[in-house]
Amino acid sequence: TKQGLNFSAIGGYVSIKRAPKNIKIFSACSIKVLPYDNLIKKYSAHLQFITRRYLKASKILKTQKIDIVHHMFPAVYGQTFSLLAIKEKFSQPFIFGPASAHFTSRPLDEKMLGKLTSMLHLKTISKCSHLIAITEQVKRLYSKFFDEDKISVIPLGVDTELFRPANKNRAKEEFEILFAGSLYPLKGVKYLIKSMKYVVSEGEKVKLRIIGEGPEKERLRLLADELRLKNKVIFEGFVPHDKIVKYYQNCDVFCFLTLGEPFGIAILEAMACQKPVITSNRGGPAEIVKDAETGFLVNPKDVRLVAERIIQLIKDEKLRKKMGKKARRTVVEKYSLEKISEKYYRLYCSLI
C-alpha cells in the first residue's frame, strides 16, 4: 500500500486471482456457501472455520512480527468472537470490528445458541484495545458496555472507480426500478412489489428488476402474479458482483426497503452509480441516505408512500438527476475505499 503496511489475512473460503504483494491470504474453510438448509453441514462449516482460523492466527502470531491484531466481521449470528483473543495472551493492540448489529429476530437454531455466542462475544470485546462500529447507531449500542472513547465509527467502503455512472445512458421505453440483495423476508422485497401495484395503476410505464436469490423467491414470484405484475417484475437471479455495475447504471432509481439492515452496501453501490435511493428510515440505511437530498427515507411497510415517492421521481427528472449527482458526491467524499483506508491507517498508527 501507499502507507507501507503489510497484512496477513485469514478468511473463510477464499478465491482471488491475484492478491496485492503486501497481503498474504489464508483460507480457513473449504465450503464456498454456507448450507443453511442443512443444520449439520451449517454448524460443521462454522466449527471448521472457527477452529482453523484460531490455529492459523495463533501460528502467525508466534512465528511472525505482528504489530496489530484485527478481528473483522461476524463468524456467526452477528455475535462474532475470537478464540485467539479469549485463549491467547499477546501484547499487541487488539482491534475488533467493524461491528454491526442485527435488529430483527434470528432463526430458531441461532437463538438457541444465543447465550453462548453472546458470552464469547462479550469476552472478546473485553480484550479489545479499540472497537470499530459500522454506524453511529451501532456505536451507541456498544457504548453501553464498552468505553465510548475507544470506539471509532468506520463504515464500509465502495470502489468508486468500478461503481460509477455510465458514460452514456441508453434510451429506454420504461422507467426502471432496481433491487439487489438476498431474497429474505428481512429485505422487504414484498413491500416493493406491492407498491408497484399502485405505481402501475397510475398508468406509469415502469418495471421492477430484482437481482438476487433466496428462500423468498418463489413467494415473491407468486405475489407478482397475484397482483398481475408478471410482466412488470423481472427476476434476474444471481448476478456476479463484477457484472452488477451495469444494472445499477441502467436503472433510474434504486429501492431497498429493508426491515432492519445494519448497513446496506448495495445502497452505496447504487449511489456511486449516481442513482437516487428509496430506502428504509431505520437502521444503517437511514445514516447513509439523506432524506429528500440523495433519495427518500420511508417506512418500508407503507407501500402507498413508497409508490408516491417512486411516482415523484418518475415525473420529476430534474429532481432525479439532482439527487443522483449528490448521491455520487456523497459516496466519493465519505465512502470511497481511499477515504475508508485512510481512517484505518490513522487508527492503526494511533495504536502502535
| Of the listed ranges 161-170, 284-293, 310-319, the one predicted with least confidence | 161-170
For residue 106, the model assigns a pLDDT of 58
Beta bridge partners of 278: 255, 296
Helix (H) / strand (E) element for 295: namely strand 295-298
Compute the distance between CA of residue 318 and CA of residue 321 in angstroms, rounded to an integer: 5
For residue 107, the model assigns a pLDDT of 59
pLDDT in tens, 197-225: 999 999 889 999 999 999 899 999 999 99
Kindly report the length of the chain: 352
pTM over 0.75: yes
Which is nearest to 252 in space by CA: 272, 288, 277? Answer: 277
Compute the distance between CA of residue 256 and CA of residue 289 in angstroms, rounded to an integer: 11
Share of the chain above pLDDT 90, in %: 57
Q: What is the DSSP string of 208-234?
A: EEEE---TTHHHHHHHHHHTT-TTTEE
Tell me the backbone φ, ψ of residue 170, rounded to 5 degrees: -85, 150
Which is nearest to 180 in space by CA: 261, 93, 65, 301? Answer: 261
Alpha-carbon torsion angle 310, 311, 316, 318, nearest 10? 10
Compute the distance between CA of residue 327 and CA of residue 270 in angstroms, rounded to an integer: 9
Positive or negative torsion for Cα 180, 185, 186, 190: positive
The CATH H-level (homologous superfamily) assignment of domain 175-334 is: Glycogen Phosphorylase B; (3.40.50.2000)
Domain range annotation of the chain: 7-157+342-351, 175-334
**CATH number, domain 7-157+342-351:** 3.40.50
DSSP 291: B
Instruction: Please say if the pLDDT value at position 25 is more than 50.
Output: yes
For residue 79, the model assigns a pLDDT of 62
Instruction: Please say if the pLDDT value at position 77 is more than 70.
Output: no
Residue with cell 471448521: 48
For residue 76, the model assigns a pLDDT of 41
Topology alike, domains 7-157+342-351 and 175-334: yes
Instruction: Please say if the pLDDT value at position 60 is more than 90.
Output: no
